[in-house]
Amino acid sequence: MPESRADPFDALRAPITPLAPDPAFAAALRGRIVRALPALTPKESFMSTEMTTRQRNGFRHGDVSYITLELPDLARGRAFYGAVLGWRFSPGSSEHGAQVDDTVPMIGLSEGRAAGEASAHGAVLGFRVDDISVAVAAVRAHGGTISDPHREEYALAAEGHDDQGIPFFLHEMPPVRSESASADREFHNGEIQGDVSYLTMVVADLAAANEFYGGVFSWTFNIGRAGGAQVTGVAPQIGMTTRPEAGPATPGVILCYRVDDIAAAVQRVQDAGGHARDVAQRPYGLESLCTDDQETPFYLHQF
């Protein structure tokens, strides 16, 4: 009788045995793959509301739709925030930028500004608007400066400065169609580690800022201690101050990030070359004021 032979396709019918690679090897391999990926094509959206099951670009007029964190050195920024917050990155629209995966709101790192423009260091906010033409007119009517709207892949957009020189963007985007959106529209303090838990806007004139942002976005405010105000009903939560605890008292935005274990996160900040103050107990949770290794101030929050 002829000798029976094994069917080479039997191996395909065998149960799949999952592998558990060494975590350090897996992280290194992921990094190599991300660095090797080509830049996104023009047909791919950098701010698509469909990139994740979590709504990342705001719900309402005046919500934060996007955050650009501008740093002097992009590579150092990726290394620092990857180590401290566990951020993972995708390619940006150019070699001078990177997208942070799965944060709320969406965040992009940028290495300064384009040639010929003044360099920037810190966070620049984008805001969702219902009608960008109306919003542009409101910015100009309230003393701000802004470009005419133009079409981007992800939205109608315009770039400008408020009446105190703080840069920002406007984005008119498709309405959110999630069936659960109504349950998620209230302000929040981030859901997972690395999310933005709070935004602090540093302004020179609080009354003028209230008038400007109230006029442009219909924001309302709870006035707190002297020199401070809380914006009501926006996501994420936003506060304004003329007396920042972090950094110089110049107009700008300070980001706060949610972490699961603030003591461990503070240690990671220090190990990565940044600085962190002692953890303080606040009414809303634990907090530490930090700076990264490029002197960018930020807060850590554990709720």
- Annotated domain spans of the chain: 64-175+186-302
What band does 4 get if pLDDT is binned at 50, 70 and 90? low
Instruction: List, in sequence order, every residue forming a beta bridge with 275; answer none if it has no partner.
Output: 291
Q: Two tokens at 133?
A: 């033409």
30 CB-near residues (< 8 Å, 6+ apart): 88
Report how far Cα 301 is from the mean position of its chain's Cα atoms.
15
Query: Distance between CA atoms of 128 and 59, rounded to whole angstroms?
Result: 8
State the pLDDT at residue 176: 79
Instruction: List, in sequence order, every residue forming a beta bridge with 156; answer none if it has no partner.
Output: 151, 172
Chain position carrying tokens 């985007």: 173
Query: Distance between CA atoms of 42 and 94, rounded to whole angstroms?
Result: 11
Return phi, psi of residue 236, to 5°.
Answer: -70, 175
Correct CATH for 64-175+186-302 of 3.10.180.10, 3.30.360.10, 3.30.1450.10, 3.20.20.120: 3.10.180.10
Report yes or no: 104 and 187 within 8 Å, Cβ to Cβ.
no
Q: Model confidence over 201-230: pLDDT tens digits?
A: 999 999 999 999 999 999 999 987 777 999
State the pLDDT at residue 250: 79
3-class secondary structure, 123: strand
Element (H, E) at 76: helix 74-85
Across the chain, mean pLDDT equals 83
What band does 193 get if pLDDT is binned at 50, 70 and 90? very high
The mean pLDDT value for 193-197 works out to: 97
Q: Two tokens at 52?
A: 């994740």
State the pLDDT at residue 93: 82
Cα-only R_g, the chain? 22
State the pLDDT at residue 301: 97
3-class secondary structure, 195: coil
Return phi, psi of residue 243, to 5°.
Answer: -130, 75
Going 55 to 196 to 111 to 118, the CA torsion angle's sign is positive
Q: pTM for the complete prediction? A: 0.79
Query: Distance between CA atoms of 39 and 279, rounded to whole angstroms?
Result: 40
Question: Distance from first CA to last CA of the chain, Å, rounded?
Answer: 75
Percentage above 70 pLDDT, the chain: 75
What band does 166 get if pLDDT is binned at 50, 70 and 90? very high
Q: Which amino acid is at 54?
A: R
What band does 3 get if pLDDT is binned at 50, 70 and 90? low
